[in-house]
Amino acid sequence: EIVLTQSPGTLSLSPGERATLSCRASQSVSSSYLAWYQQKPGQAPRLLFYGASSRATGIPDRFSGSGSGTDFTLTISRLEPEDFAVYYCQQYGSSPPTFGGGTKVEIK
């Protein structure tokens, strides 16, 4: 199965700053079938992106996704207070679908 490694584990930033999150796959992700989810404490994950760069419904454009092959990036251009959360990448191009270990974006 494909192993996803997310870095950094924790990102300490201030509101208004730019966040760059990385997701690296152990082998190429088929057809860029890479998704990003946001999870806040006590809540379920929420889909942010699919197909590496397609925003899910209702996701603001300060969020962007990019990448292909084995290297993917989630960028938040200007952090809002509600963006502090844990972010997970997931590949869904090969069975079984797998998740990364997550990056926590915390308030500095």
Partner 1 sequence: QVQLQESGPGPVKPSETLSLTCTVSGGSISSYYWSWIRQSPGKGLEWIGYIYYSGSTNYNPSLKSRVTISVDTSKNQFSLKLSSVTAADTAVYYCARGSWLLTLWGQGTLVTVSS
Q: In the range 57-86, which residues lie near partner 1 by CB under 8 A?
A: none
CB of 78 to partner 1, least distance (A): 26
CB of 89 to partner 1, least distance (A): 10
Place of tokens 């730019």: 18
CA–CA distance, 84 with 105 (Å, rounded to integer): 5
Find all residues with CB under 8 Å of 43, minimum gap 6, and list them. none
Residue nearer to partner 1 on the CB measure, 20 or 31: 31
CA-wise closest residue to 84 among 5, 6, 13, 7: 13
Q: Does 99 bind partner 1 (CB under 8 A)?
A: yes
Please give the structure tokens belonging to residue 46. 């929420």
Q: Does 45 bind partner 1 (CB under 8 A)?
A: yes
Q: Does 95 bind partner 1 (CB under 8 A)?
A: yes
Q: Does 50 bind partner 1 (CB under 8 A)?
A: yes
Place of tokens 């603001």: 60
Give the residues lining the site for partner 1 (CB under 8 A): 33, 35, 37, 43-47, 50, 56, 88, 90, 92, 95-102
